[in-house]
């Protein structure tokens, strides 16, 4: 890690009034967003104290994990503003004083935003992404930016600017990608929640790797205004460009988030959803209130997406989740939706047909500024025609229609997140059920759902044979995000809320 990216922990924060006996390491890593906000609104803790706790945690744990790459120098000011409001009897909103981190692909006003690329090493946006701004307007305190793979392409978090991010369960393992910086930060207690993105699994795979919950909302609920890659405005202070409504990145991907409880996911959904007048793909769909009952839910579960096998212990976690729902009165059957075995390949075909035009435009004439992995894949790709793109889109639409038909009878789907738990990114292939699966195909279960655009939560449902967390995907119908969260919450009650990493102590050496 380039430690010069991080300014020193703000020594000016007064920690004298913190009750360290009441807020020990265990509680710091377990507290939910709602618990932090309630403590500050009720005067049991100030936002300044909460920030100091997290900055101290960052100073101790970030050198090992390399999760946070840029601290927000205005965090102390934001926390102080929350404290002044509380002293005057006012709440800043549902996230009053809660410290959070943001993936480095989302623009943050006045704070370096690099997307992990040398092309943007000095880029400082004049405006924040809509999602970031909404969180701050709801009272949250921006701690800083988290590491990601360059332009969010790889499934392990590393890039030419900041290097690799590691897993707090075992620092030899990946924390996932491309939102791996946020997953490592939240799982280790450095941040209360993380705002990221999910195109092909970029929030779900990291949540699975670190034992967190996550939500990839229905595509179109949350604006992607301010999501890189885009060509930064030439004029100082100019507005961020509108996301391209024809881009596969924006038609299949979405802003997404991870946290330590399912309730947090729902709270954040209420803050983040809604049109912003800029992103043409967002739709004004009423979310409704939380769903408190599982009545009317009918579930189907399956062990993989039909092309790449999943390890038996991970399949067992999905089956256990299905059995838990059955015990709660939810009719549950084993069965894979028709067409889903073609979905991961269709996702890759559509992504390949489009290429990465936003990155190519940004890099035009400066291709040597890209990291070697991304440069070779971009420049080596064969050009596609509009006809190729239309054909890939038609395949996607046909698969989506088949799955929607299946979900008229089975409105919730359960399946694995990936073929393995968190793994060593230096391992090229994994032998599963006698078949060698390359690293790049471990997330086929995520890609198969990505192409549908449906809401999907990840909830931890046990441990692998090595003692690592195992997440399960809970998939619902379009705009039924609250229904998905109700099922995820029921599973969380059965399997337990997030537990801090127990594979080895955070203070132990990774040797």
- β partners of residue 179: none
Two tokens at 352? Answer: 């390949």
Give the Cα separation of 98 and 105 in Å (integer). 21
Neighbour-count burial for 470-493, b at 16+ CB within 10 Å, e otherwise: bbbbbbbbbbbbbbbbbbbbbbbe
Asked if 299 and 438 count as a contact pair (C-beta separation under 8 A), the reply is: no
DSSP annotation of 183:
H
DSSP sequence for 211-265:
T-EEEEPPTTSS--TTBSSS---SSTTPPPPPPPTT-HHHHH-EEEEEESSHHHH
Q: Which residue has the tokens 């801090």?
A: 500
Q: How far is CA 391 from CA 347, 350, 354, 364, 381, in A?
A: 12, 8, 11, 28, 18
Residue 185 backbone dihedrals phi, psi, to 5 degrees = -65, -45
C-alpha gyration radius of the chain:
21
Residue position matching structure tokens 């999910």:
198
304 and 415 Cβ atoms separated by less than 8 Å: yes
Given the DSSP bridges, would you call strands 213-216 and 456-463 parallel, antiparallel or unpaired?
antiparallel
Candidates 105, 235, 269, 112; CA nearest to 179 is: 105
| Residue found by looking up tokens 């299946």 in the block | 406
* Catalytic (active-site) positions: 103, 178, 202
Give the separation between CA 88 and CA 73, rounded to whole angstroms. Answer: 25
Find the helix packing angle between 481-495 and 312-327, rounded to 10°: 100
End-to-end CA distance of the chain: 18
Distance CA 188, CA 194 (A): 12
CB neighbours of residue 170 within 10 Å: 18
How far apart CA 444 and CA 435 sit, in angstroms, is: 15
The position carrying tokens 């690099």 is: 114
User: Does the N-terminal peptide bond of residue 272 adopt cis geometry, omega within 30 degrees of 0?
Assistant: no
295 Cβ contact partners less than 8 Å away, ≥ 6 residues apart? none
Instruction: Report the distance separating Cα 243 and Cα 280, nearest Å.
Output: 7
Strand 68-71 and strand 141-146: the pairing is antiparallel
Phi, psi (degrees; rounded to nearest 5) at 121: -60, -25
């Amino acid at each position: 890690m380039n430690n010069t990216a991080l300014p020193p922990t703000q020594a000016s924060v007064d920690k004298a009034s913190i009750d360290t006996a009441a807020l020990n390491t265990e509680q710091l890593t377990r507290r939910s967003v709602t618990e932090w906000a309630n403590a500050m609104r009720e005067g049991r803790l100030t936002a300044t104290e909460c920030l100091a706790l997290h900055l101290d945690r960052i100073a101790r744990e970030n050198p090992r994990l390399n999760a946070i790459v840029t601290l927000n120098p205005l965090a102390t000011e934001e926390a102080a503003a929350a404290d002044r409001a509380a002293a005057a009897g006012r709440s800043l909103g549902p996230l009053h004083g809660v410290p959070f981190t943001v993936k480095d692909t989302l623009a943050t006003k006045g704070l370096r935003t690099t997307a992990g690329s040398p092309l943007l090493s000095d880029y400082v946006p004049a405006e924040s992404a809509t999602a970031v701004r909404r969180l701050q307007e709801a009272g949250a305190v921006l701690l800083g930016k988290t590491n990601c793979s360059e332009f969010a392409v790889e499934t392990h978090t590393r890039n030419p600017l900041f290097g690799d991010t590691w897993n707090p369960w075992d620092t030899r393992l990946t924390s996932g990608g491309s939102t791996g910086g946020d997953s490592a930060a939240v799982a280790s207690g450095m941040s209360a929640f993380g705002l990221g993105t999910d195109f092909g699994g970029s929030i779900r795979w990291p949540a699975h790797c670190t034992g967190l919950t996550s939500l990839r909302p229905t595509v179109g609920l949350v604006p992607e205004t301010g999501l890189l890659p885009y060509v930064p405005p030439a004029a100082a202070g100019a507005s961020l460009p509108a996301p391209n409504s024809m881009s596969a990145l924006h038609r299949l991907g979405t802003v997404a988030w991870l946290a330590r409880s399912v309730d947090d996911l729902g709270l954040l959904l209420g803050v983040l959803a809604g049109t912003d007048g800029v992103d043409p793909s967002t739709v004004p769909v009423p979310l409704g209130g939380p769903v408190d009952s599982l009545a009317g839910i009918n579930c189907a579960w399956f062990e993989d997406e039909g092309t790449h096998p999943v390890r038996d212990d991970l399949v067992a976690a999905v089956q256990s989740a299905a059995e838990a729902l059955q015990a709660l009165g939810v009719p549950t059957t084993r069965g894979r939706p028709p067409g889903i075995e073609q979905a991961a390949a269709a996702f890759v075909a559509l992504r390949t047909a489009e290429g990465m035009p936003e990155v190519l435009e940004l890099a035009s004439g400066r291709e040597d500024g890209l990291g070697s992995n991304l440069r070779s894949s971009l420049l080596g790709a064969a050009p596609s025609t509009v006809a190729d793109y239309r054909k890939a889109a038609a395949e996607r639409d046909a698969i989506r229609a088949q799955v929607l038909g299946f979900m008229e009878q089975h409105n919730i789907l359960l399946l694995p997140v990936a073929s393995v738990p968190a793994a060593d990114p230096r391992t090229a292939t994994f032998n599963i059920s006698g078949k060698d699966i390359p690293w790049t195909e471990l997330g086929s279960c995520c890609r198969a759902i990505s192409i549908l655009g449906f809401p999907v939560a990840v909830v931890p449902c046990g441990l692998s044979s090595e003692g690592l967390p195992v997440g399960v995907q809970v998939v619902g119908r379009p705009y039924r995000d609250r229904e998905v969260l109700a099922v995820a919450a029921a599973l969380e009650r059965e399997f337990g809320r997030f537990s801090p990493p127990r594979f080895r102590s955070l203070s132990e050496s990774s040797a």
